[in-house]
Amino acid sequence: MELSAVAARVLGCLVEKQRTTPDLYPLSLNSMVGACNQTTNRWPVVRYDESMVQAGLDELRELELVRREKPHGGRAIKFSHLLPRVIPMGEPQLALMCVLLLRGPQTPGELKMRSERLHTFADLGSVDEALAKLVHHEDGPFVEVLPRESGRKEARWRELLSANNGDASPTEAPTAPRTSPVEDVAPSLATRVADLETEVARLASMLDGLARDPRQ
């Protein structure tokens, strides 16, 4: 299974919206376009039109990862995902796959922080455990670890459902052209900030535990 960049984004959006906005799920085509083109919780940021999103949905339907639904009393056709049915996985693994599909390669610390809306991981160990299950899945692997980059404490992980694993493709149109070298380092800066936020949260938790310890 090698999903196109569009299909991977569509699938990730369906998994996300099922959990974050259940009252609006399943999604219409128009809602799918809006979800794909969000500027938050997405990388890369894209500008898909209806025909591109529809093509992604058709691709997923052929793989039986998406189905069409017509709500009672409604006119608009809506779409829901079938990912756990096609690839059996628990909520922790589904949350990680969702975030990887939507934001590309990330460290365990980034995955823990960015999946909070979908599933709460107790610690980084529980993230590692969920990633290991995706690696050793009987139908997998569905994720893999990348070589650790110089200057980074953690290696990044990527999903293996899509052909480009989260990298931008020629079919994706950024919301604005890159005109400054500063913009080229933005993704790296964002991941560094996320790493710092994770470390700060860990230290704060440790300090809180010390403050509550009656022996201190």
The domain limits of the chain are 5-179+187-203
At 118, the pLDDT band (50, 70, 90 cuts) reads very high
Full-model pTM: 0.76
Instruction: Return phi, psi of residue 81, to 5°.
Output: -95, 160
- Look up residue 152 and give its two tokens: 């980074």
Task: Give the pLDDT score at 72.
Answer: 73
- Look up residue 64 and give its two tokens: 């039986």
DSSP character for 167? Answer: -
- 28-37, 97-106, 186-195: which range is least confident on average? 186-195
d(CA 87, CA 65): 9
- 14-28, 35-49, 65-79: which range is least confident on average? 65-79
d(CA 28, CA 40): 20
pLDDT digits (tens, 9 = 90+) for 130-155: 999 999 999 999 999 999 988 888 99
Task: Give the pLDDT score at 201.
Answer: 55
Give Cβ neighbours of residue 14 (< 8 Å, ≥ 6 apart). Answer: 25, 26, 27, 32, 66, 79, 80, 81
Q: In percent, how much of the chain has pLDDT > 90?
A: 68
Note the CATH architecture for domain 5-179+187-203.
Answer: Orthogonal Bundle (1.10)
Q: Is the pLDDT of residue 39 over 70?
A: yes
pLDDT digits (tens, 9 = 90+) for 163-194: 866 444 333 444 433 333 333 334 445 445 55
